[in-house]
Amino acid sequence: MKTRIGARRWATTLLALPLLAIIAAVAPGSASAEPDGGGGDRDQRDHWGVIARNTIGSPVAELRNGPFTRFNATGTLVRPPYGQGSLGIAVADDATTLGTSSEKVDFGNEVDFFGKPVADLTRVGFHVFQTGENVSYGGTTVNMPNIRFEIDPNLAADPTTYSSLVWVPDESPTPNGWSPFLDATLTGKWFLTGAAGAATGCNQTTLCTFAAVQTALADGGDPATIYTAAVGKGRDFIWVGAVDGLRINDTIYDFEESGVKTIRPRPGA
């Protein structure tokens, strides 16, 4: 009797193994359950998130579905450029006790770009969902999110080991919808914060082109290197919108509600 019961339990265990394998394959968070979204992967998703030390107040930077343009819109820019989702951002102007225009958020990666040369940045940019309200909040000033690289400038002219390299985009050509890809190496302006900005002349008062700021960083010191990469907004005007398709060199970061995918651009793109 003991032998028969034991054999029956052993057979039941064998039958249960395929079922357990199926459950594991479709369980949330399992590798097999994640759609590839057209060739993307999620190897770096655990390294993306709100950078707490660079965030002030209670802004929102959340991976979300959409946004999609209003019901009567048509064309290629009515939905996120990659997948179904994006990085939603909402920032106030004077919602803190620190004074006016203090709220700020950075959503980025503090691990995977560390130590890479700033001079190796050759293609940078993103798509943005801009609204007419955001334009009105910023008045005559362009009111757009930024790309920020925390860097070690390694300037021969100044011993500072920290600065933020910030892209200030031109205004989106498509308010109330998704923009085409905005190339930060060819459009908008850049500046460096702190002593590096003063030493190079590329600061918030005198903004530089991408080529000019790269030249200014190559002043004979060791090559400037990256600490972190992020998309951010603030400290300035109210802004509510979204960003998708952040590109850094030959990788596109597709922001989806379930995580951050990496996509290789099409040849020649």
| Distance of alpha carbon 264 from alpha carbon 12, whole angstroms | 46
**Number of folded domains in the chain?**
2
Q: Are residues 51 and 134 in the same domain?
A: yes
Tokens of 196: 């590096």
Longest dimension (CA), the chain: 89
Q: What is the pLDDT of residue 8?
A: 42
Q: What is the pLDDT of residue 190?
A: 98
Q: Are residues 110 and 193 in the same domain?
A: yes
Q: What is the pLDDT of residue 49?
A: 96
Q: Among candidates 64, 62, 65, 31, which has minimal Cα distance to 49?
A: 62
Q: Are residues 210 and 177 in the same domain?
A: yes
Whether 57 is in a domain gets the answer yes
- Tell me how far the alpha carbon of residue 78 is from its chain's centroid: 20
Q: Are residues 152 and 54 in the same domain?
A: yes
Q: What is the pLDDT of residue 74?
A: 63
Q: What is the pLDDT of residue 71?
A: 67
Q: What is the pLDDT of residue 251?
A: 97
What is the mean pLDDT for each group of 10 consecutive residues in the chain (269 residues)?
Answer: 39 43 38 37 71 94 92 75 97 82 94 98 97 90 94 96 97 92 98 98 97 97 97 94 98 96 87
Q: Are residues 5 and 92 in the same domain?
A: no
Q: Are residues 45 and 17 in the same domain?
A: no
Whether 16 is in a domain gets the answer yes
Q: Are residues 24 and 54 in the same domain?
A: no
Q: Are residues 111 and 22 in the same domain?
A: no
Question: For the whole model, what pTM was predicted?
Answer: 0.81
Tokens of 140: 């005559």
Q: Are residues 3 and 133 in the same domain?
A: no
Q: Are residues 109 and 206 in the same domain?
A: yes
Q: Are residues 52 and 10 in the same domain?
A: no
Q: Are residues 12 and 121 in the same domain?
A: no
| Phi-psi sector, 15: left (phi>0), alpha (psi -120 to 50), beta | alpha
| DSSP-derived secondary structure for the chain | -HHHHHHHHHHHHHHHHHHHHHHHHHSTT-GGGS--TTT-B-TTGGGEEE-GGG-BSS-EEEEEE-----TT--STTSS-SSSSEEEEEEE-SS-SSS-SS--BEEEEESSTTTT-BGGG---EEEEEEE-HHHHHHTTTS----EEEEEEE---SS-----EEEEEEPPPPSSTTEE---EETTTSSEEEE-HHHHHHHS-SSSS-B-HHHHHHHH-SSSSPPEEEEEEEEE-SSS-EEEEEEEEEETTEEEEEETTEEEEEPPPTT-
Whether 209 is in a domain gets the answer yes
Q: Among candidates 181, 114, 182, which has minimal Cα distance to 149?
A: 114
Whether 269 is in a domain gets the answer no
| Distance of alpha carbon 131 from alpha carbon 127, whole angstroms | 13
Domain that holds residue 87: 35-263
Whether 268 is in a domain gets the answer no
